[in-house]
Amino acid sequence: MQETPPLPDVPLFERLDREEREELGELLEPVSFGPGEMLIEEGKKDEKLYVLTSGTVEVYKQVIPRRDQLLATIEAPSVVGEMGLLTEPRAAASVVAKTAVKAHGIQRDRFLSMLDAESPAAYKVVYELGRTLAGRMSRTDDSIAKIIPQLECANRRGSRDLNIFQDKLIEEWSF
């Protein structure tokens, strides 16, 4: 029997009791990345989520084709790749190590099997992920509210596509 790696001390695992920590610990694969190494590649299947325990990563996306744009800088402790757990497993952006990074990988499939089996440990983790998403949704709503007057200015200059965009933004509102 191999010794279970200790569960990293991150908010995501805060609610877990000892037994649940051991259960989840079996899924964790310790991994480290050097500066410039890619954790997640845009457009590829998102097979893992990573719990970052030290270091900094950058999130890039080809907003304009063939031109990577820096979207965010994320410092440990944090999680990347969690959207793949909750939606389609196709990475919307790339995640690249900016410094040396220590992380724990969790296989998407194994985690989803735990959820299917109604494992309390997995549910508790998803609850914390949900709380993170709720915060993000709220900030996104604020950003969109600020952008709408600008879109309307552009619309008055005759950009029909923006009207459609604006309607779609409003449809996706969550409150």
Comparing CB distances to another protein, the nearer of 27 and 151 is 151
Collapsing DSSP to helix, strand or coil, 111 comes out as helix
Both tokens of residue 164? 């459609």
Least distance from C-beta 1 to another protein, angstroms? 28
Distance CA 52, CA 49 (A): 10
Does 120 interact with another protein (rule: CB under 8 A)? yes
Residues 6+ apart with CB under 8 A from 54: 76, 100, 101, 102
* Terminal C-alpha separation, the chain: 48
Between 63 and 102, how does the x/- string for binding to another protein read (CB under 8 A)?
xxx---x-xx-------xxxx--xxx--xxx-x-------
Site residues (vs another protein, CB under 8 A): 40, 46, 59, 61, 63-65, 69, 71-72, 80-83, 86-88, 91-93, 95, 115, 118, 120, 123-124, 126-127, 129-150, 152, 154, 159, 161-162, 165, 168-170, 172-175
